[in-house]
Structure 1
Amino acid sequence: MKLSLVISTLGRTSDLNNLFESLAAQTFDDFEVIVVDQNDDDRLAAFIRPDWGFPLRRIHTPRQRGLSRGRNAGWRQAQGDAVLFPDDDCWYPADFLSTGMRLLEELGADIVTGRAADMNGRSINGRFEKTRQQITRKNVFTTQIEWVAFFRRDILHAVGGYDEDIGVGASTPFQACEGQDIVLRALPCGAKAFYDPDLFGHHADITKARPDRASIKKARGYARGLGRVLRLHEYSTTSLMMWLARPLAKMPFNMVCGRFKKTVELGNIFLGRVEGYWAPVTLTKSAAE
Structure 2
Amino acid sequence: MRILLLTTCIYNEENYLDFLRLTDSLSQQCSSIFFEHGVLFQNFNDDAKLDSYQSENYSSKFFYTDKIISLSKARNFLINQYVSELDSYDYTSFPDDDCWYPADFWRQFRLIAKKQKLDVFYTKFSSEPVKKFEGTEKHSTYKLILNSSSNTTIYSTEIVKSIKLFDESFGVGSLNNGGEDTDFSLRAMLSSNVIIFINSPLVGHREPLPEFRYRYFKGSYGVLKKHCFKSFSISLITCRKFLVGLIYIFTRKISILDFFVNKG
What is the TM-score of this pair, normalised by structure 1?
Answer: 0.72
1:50–1:224: structure 2 CA closer, same or farther, 3 Å change rule?
same
State how 1:10-159 maps to structure 2 within 5 Å: 10-11=10-11, 12-28=15-31, 29-42=33-46, 45-50=49-54, 54-63=58-67, 65-76=69-80, 77=82, 79-119=88-128, 121=130, 131-134=136-139, 136-159=140-163
Output one character per residue of 1:79-130: Cα deviation in whole Å (capped at 9) or x when no partner.
Answer: 42211111011111011222333333324221111111231649xxxxxxx6
Q: Say if 2:212 is the partner of 1:201.
A: no
Aligned to 2:4: 4
Aligned to 1:233: 227
- Identity across the alignment (%): 21
Could you tell me which amino acid in structure 1 is paired with residue 240 of structure 2? M
Could you tell me which amino acid in structure 2 is paired with residue 48 of structure 1? S
Aligned to 1:254: none
1:188 to 178, 187, 190: 190
Q: Say if 1:104 and 1:110, in contact at 8 Å, map to a contact too.
A: no
Q: Say if 2:225 is the partner of 1:220.
A: no
1:106–1:167: structure 2 CA closer, same or farther, 3 Å change rule?
farther
Q: Flag as ranges the 4+ runs of structure 1 deviating above 6 A.
A: none
Could you tell me which amino acid in structure 1 is paired with residue 260 of structure 2? A
Deviates more, 1:179-188 or 1:151-160: 179-188
Q: Say if 2:121 and 2:196, in contact at 8 Å, map to a contact too.
A: yes
Cα-Cα RMSD:
3.2
Aligned to 1:127: none
Q: Say if 1:96 and 1:199, in contact at 8 Å, map to a contact too.
A: no
Deviation at 1:158, TM superposition (A): 0.7
- In the alignment of these two chains, the number of paired residues is 247
| Whole-angstrom distance in 2 between the partners of 1:176 and 1:247 | 14
1:247–1:164: structure 2 CA closer, same or farther, 3 Å change rule?
closer
Output one character per residue of 1:172-214: Cα deviation in whole Å (capped at 9) or x when no partner.
Answer: 1x22222221122223334532211246211112327xx6xxx
Aligned to 1:243: 241
